[in-house]
Amino acid sequence: MTLSDLYVIFDHVQFKKRYFENRNQVVSPKGEISYIRVPVLTKGKEAQALHEVKIDNTQKWNDKMLKKIRHFYSKAPYFRKYFDELAELIAYRKYVYLIDLNIKLIDFFRKHLGISVPMVSSSQMNVKNYTGSDLIMRICLLNKADIYLCGASGIDYIRADDFCRNGIQIKWLNYSTPAYSQLCDKFVPNMSTLDLLFNRGNESLNVLMNSVKRKD
């Protein structure tokens, strides 16, 4: 996100069950990996788009999530700096749609990582009938992009020649999970950004940036 001039949130694509759109991983001081999760309504809604997914507010997920975060991170160096603001965000606002909560959480992390790149949502663009590589290229064309930053997963489906013919350069990014000090003795990778923020505070963005390499 911080490497780009514009960041697009793919909220018009199909919601994935048991994926990271409504949950993420945290790790305890003992190295125990667990999920913090927002329950959502999916029965009879197998094909719903991400921006259509509603939170199941009949469950007391807010209290459960905050209890686990406090239990896992209360002794982290920067816990007190961020927890109250996060707790207010999670506990005291009534969200109907998952995307609204997700955007608030993304904004929380952007604020404390120091990222101010503009964001737009794919659901607000005329891209409904596009998929795969064509979808990415369509979004780039609509936003007059001349460079597309692509992660390693894009190798499987991006048709680079099509982008080149449309005047769009692809820059491939290699990302490796950065090691940083955690409460547990042995580093556990691929946790929520929350883990990084509680443990490294203002240095969090530098930790992330040191792990990204470009393949021009």
pLDDT tens for 21-43 read: 999 999 999 999 999 999 999 99
List the chain domain ranges: 7-118+175-215
C-beta separation of 196 from 204 below 8 A: yes
Res. 216: pLDDT tops 70: no
Give 170's strand partners: 148
Residue 146 vs residues 4, 143, 156, 165: alpha-carbon distances, Å: 11, 9, 21, 11
What is the model's pLDDT at position 156? 86
| CA angle 37–39–44, rounded 5-degree value | 140
- pTM, entire model: 0.92
pLDDT tens for residues 114-172? 999 999 999 999 998 999 999 999 999 999 999 999 988 888 899 999 999 999 999 99
128: exposed, middle or buried (Cβ count in 10 Å: 0-12, 13-18, 19+)? exposed
